[in-house]
Amino acid sequence: MALLTSEITRIKAELGYPLLSINAEPMIGIHAVFEQVIQPYTLSGASTTSSTTVEAASTPTPVSLVLTAGAGFVPGSVVVVDVDSRQERATIQSSVGSSVTVQLSLPHTGTFPVTVEGGESIIREILLELRKLAQGMNGAESAMASLQSRLGLKKMDEIEFFGGGSTLAAQGLDPMSQTLQLREYWRDELARCLGIPRLNSKSASGGSEISVY
């Protein structure tokens, strides 16, 4: 399954590109590489769904998933099961027909996607990490919002930050700075996987020559 238009839009936002359609090319520099190169040509693995109910387990437990279509799912392949907070990676241990055996620990219900790991699934994992930082998951407060609500000095003499657990001198960075650096790391990884520059990085100096017109 190709990257969704909503995912392409989120990628643009994370990497600092204008959120305009390629129809705006005559008026402003728009990078059509997203719609004309990245969306149709990103490497992908076999993709299907499963409706096998999986119970949560304290440790990874072998589970036989019945797939809607088993083509491309062979032993040794790494698969990504489900989405959002229930997403997990596993290696196919064996397969019989359209059923594969994998070790899972999270609960899975209803009909959920099962995808052989490829470029698209890797990009989606990075977008998930960025989403966790910015929005939280399943109603949980995001890391940034949580830190913003606790910003302030805890000790004047040692300059100890709330939530840090150590002094600034020992830790090097306060929790908010660490979170922002983690966001920068995932944005850099996203740009690296797509083979395009970031326009919102600290070292960005302007336009790019990769636009497709």
The pLDDT, as a whole number, for residue 209 is 46
Specify whether 33 is located in the same domain as 59.
no
Specify whether 35 is located in the same domain as 70.
no
Where in the sequence is the domain holding 54, given as residue range(s)? 47-117
The pLDDT, as a whole number, for residue 29 is 66
Helices (H), the chain: 5-15, 33, 39-41, 119-135, 143-148, 168-171, 175-194
Distance of CA 107 to the CA centre of its chain: 20
Specify whether 15 is located in the same domain as 109.
no
The pLDDT, as a whole number, for residue 162 is 53
Please give the Cα distance from 19 to 138 (Å, whole number).
27
The pLDDT, as a whole number, for residue 61 is 97
Specify whether 188 is located in the same domain as 129.
yes
The arrangement of strands across the sheet holding 78-81 comes to 47-50, 112-116, 78-81, 88-91
pTM of the complete model beyond 0.85: no
Specify whether 31 is located in the same domain as 64.
no
Asked whether residue 36 is domain-assigned, the answer is yes
Per-residue pLDDT of the chain (213 residues; tens, 9 = 90+): 688 999 999 999 999 998 888 777 666 667 788 989 999 999 999 999 999 999 999 999 999 999 999 999 999 999 999 988 899 999 999 999 999 999 999 999 999 999 999 999 999 999 989 988 887 655 556 655 655 555 554 544 544 555 555 444 445 567 778 888 899 999 999 999 999 999 998 775 554 444 444
Asked whether residue 208 is domain-assigned, the answer is no
Please give the Cα distance from 85 to 59 (Å, whole number).
17
Asked whether residue 127 is domain-assigned, the answer is yes
The pLDDT, as a whole number, for residue 177 is 82
Asked whether residue 82 is domain-assigned, the answer is yes
CA distances (Å), origin 141, targets 14, 131, 145, 166: 20, 11, 6, 23
The total number of structural domains in the chain stands at 2
The pLDDT, as a whole number, for residue 52 is 97
SS3 assignment, position 125:
helix
The residue among 63, 82, 117 that closes a domain is 117
Residue 108 pairs in a beta bridge with: 54
